[in-house]
Amino acid sequence: MTTHQETHHDTVPAATDPATPASGRVTVIGTGYLGATHAACLAELGYDVLGLDTDPAKVADLAAGRLPFYEPGLAELVERHTASGRLAFTTDPREAAEFADLHFVCVGTPQRRDSMAADTSHVTAAVSGLVPHLRRDALLVGKSTVPVGTAAALALHARSVAPDGVEVAVAWNPEFLREGRAVEDTLRPDRIVVGVTDPLHEKVLRELYAPVVDVGVPFVVTDLATSELVKVAANAFLATKISFANAIAELCDAAGADVVALTDAIGRDARIGHQFLSAGLGFGGGCLPKDIRALMARAGELGVDEALTFLREVDAINMRRRSRTVALAVEECGGSVLGRRVAVLGAAFKPGTDDVRDSPALNVAAQLQLQGAHVRVHDPRATATAARTFPTLGYADTVEDAVTGSDLVLHLTEWDEYRALDPAALQPARRVVIDGRNALDAERWAAAGWRVCGLGRPAVGAGVGPAAVSR
Ligand code: UGA
């Protein structure tokens, strides 16, 4: 891990002859959600792109124009540009080093197994793998979400492994794309942020992103450390906003109030806004949970952990949503889920993706199964990825398969198709649904004879009595 001092610009080598996209060629190192999207979108913008990954199976799929995961609109771009010849993939770093002088680093930075910090070893490995093969000066542009100070340390590392006479510089260009909207967020972002140590690098990136920036997207130029922090601060703010809504939901439960009406009312204040204010089962995925933890860990390393201790509460509120949902399921099954048939609608961490990393829905499904419930999970896209992570859960191909004969239905990922269900047509053993996303039309379900329990709002429908109100 680097020290804060290492972020000073004078420790960072400047490229004498920076890479230029004038050649129209770039590489993208790491072809997961971020890298594959970035590579395909750059090809869509007209560049020749080579994606580099260490995973031969992933590279074989992508090179054949197949996307190894679900992301709306991306498969079409990958197919189109592998066919047009603008997008290719390799596992060979020598090929990447030869191909271009501008290299984007898009590898993952998961949470370390032994701490809350981010594991930046893939970022270091990406640089160690590429740079010794460079024969010309190059600019590495990091897009991965990293602890502040990583970019400066990486610049020193790159210089130490570069061949004699080859200058390698580092810039940072954090990514803000959301899974499920990755293509749209990349081609039409709210802003582009670049952290640079040399005005020439700014020029290179401005030129590269000209097709995006020219239609009015703000281009924010800053130093390396600030650009790294912009990204994690944005995710921490979003996580905090969600947990704020969920903290108020706990209060609403205790007071018999309705958090959906409440957040609708406060969100109308333009200073607050409705986005990321939906109370329910809370946040999951590969980013928000690990990013707030990594930010706390980095603040600790920098001696300012007090500044971010509130993020512990943000995390704790979020994790309580899962136990609250399990407790509600137990309560609705009369004190135990042992032997109960439970249908879980949703496995992805949010709609629009097949990603189940830290999925609140799967976490709840697994907890119920551990308590003896017979759980059947349905998801329009994510049952294959879910089954790889939780192979012992039951999976259903259709909503009807999951729900028919069940004692309890849990709605845990708000796919449109669940909202569009006809509650009257479903055939459970008992018409009780826990809406973990407060997204179903409760009145419509109640009218079809269901008891509907939300999170942070009173239950409605059949069987609502004093017990439900006092909950
Ligand atoms: C998040 C950020 O939104 C992106 O800007 C960022 O680029 C990305 O992380 C990243 O770091 O790469 P993502 O992980 O795709 O994107 O998911 P979000 O759309 O942020 O949703 C995160 C979680 O919050 C989901 O589980 C969602 O269900 C939950 N959520 C969202 C709520 O519980 N309530 C809300 O009001 C909104």
pLDDT in tens, 373-420: 999 999 999 999 999 999 999 999 999 999 999 999 999 999 999 999
Residue 159 has pLDDT above 60, yes or no: yes
287 is known as an active-site residue: yes
With a CB cutoff of 8 Å and minimum separation 6, the contacts of 51 are 27, 28, 29, 31, 35, 36, 39, 59, 62, 87, 88, 89, 90
Instruction: Give tens-digit pLDDT for 86-117.
Output: 999 999 999 999 999 999 999 999 999 999 99
Angle at the Cα of 354 from the Cα atoms of 64 and 173, rounded to 5 degrees: 75
pTM for the model stands at 0.93
Could you give the percent of the chain with pLDDT greater than 70? 93
CB 65, CB 83: distance < 8 Å:
yes
Q: What is the pLDDT of residue 20?
A: 53
CB 311, CB 240: distance < 8 Å:
yes
> Which residue among the candidates 41, 252, 287, 333 is catalytic per the annotation?
287
Nearest CA to ligand 1 atom 28: 350
Tell the residue number behind the tokens 């090179």, with chain if given.
Answer: 63
Higher pLDDT, 365 or 18: 365
Q: Is 239 in the pocket of ligand 1 (CB under 6 A)?
A: no
Cα of 48 from ligand 1 centre, angstroms: 30
Q: How far is CA 263 from CA 145, 313, 436, in A?
A: 30, 20, 16
Cα of 349 from ligand 1 centre, angstroms: 9
* Distance separating alpha carbons of residues 28 and 42, to the nearest angstrom: 10
Q: For the residues 224-235, what does the mean pLDDT come to?
A: 98
Q: For the residues 35-52, what does the mean pLDDT come to?
A: 98
Nearest CA to ligand 1 atom 19: 178
CB 19, CB 100: distance < 8 Å:
yes
Cα of 119 from ligand 1 centre, angstroms: 20
- Under the banding of pLDDT at 50, 70 and 90, the label for residue 18 is very low
- Under the banding of pLDDT at 50, 70 and 90, the label for residue 9 is very low
Q: What is the pLDDT of residue 464?
A: 61
Residue 307 has pLDDT above 70, yes or no: yes
Nearest CA to ligand 1 atom 9: 287
Mean pLDDT for all residues in the chain: 94
* Distance separating alpha carbons of residues 12 and 14, to the nearest angstrom: 6
CB 151, CB 228: distance < 8 Å:
yes
Q: Is 192 in the pocket of ligand 1 (CB under 6 A)?
A: no
CB 444, CB 418: distance < 8 Å:
no
Residue 467 has pLDDT above 80, yes or no: no
The first and second tokens of residue 344, run together, are 């879980």
Q: Which atom of ligand 1 is nearest to the CA of 181?
A: 15
Q: Which atom of ligand 1 is nearest to the CA of 280?
A: 33
Q: Which atom of ligand 1 is nearest to the CA of 180?
A: 15
Three-state SS for 168? Answer: strand
Cα of 297 from ligand 1 centre, angstroms: 21
Residue 276 CB: number of other CB atoms within 10 A? 16
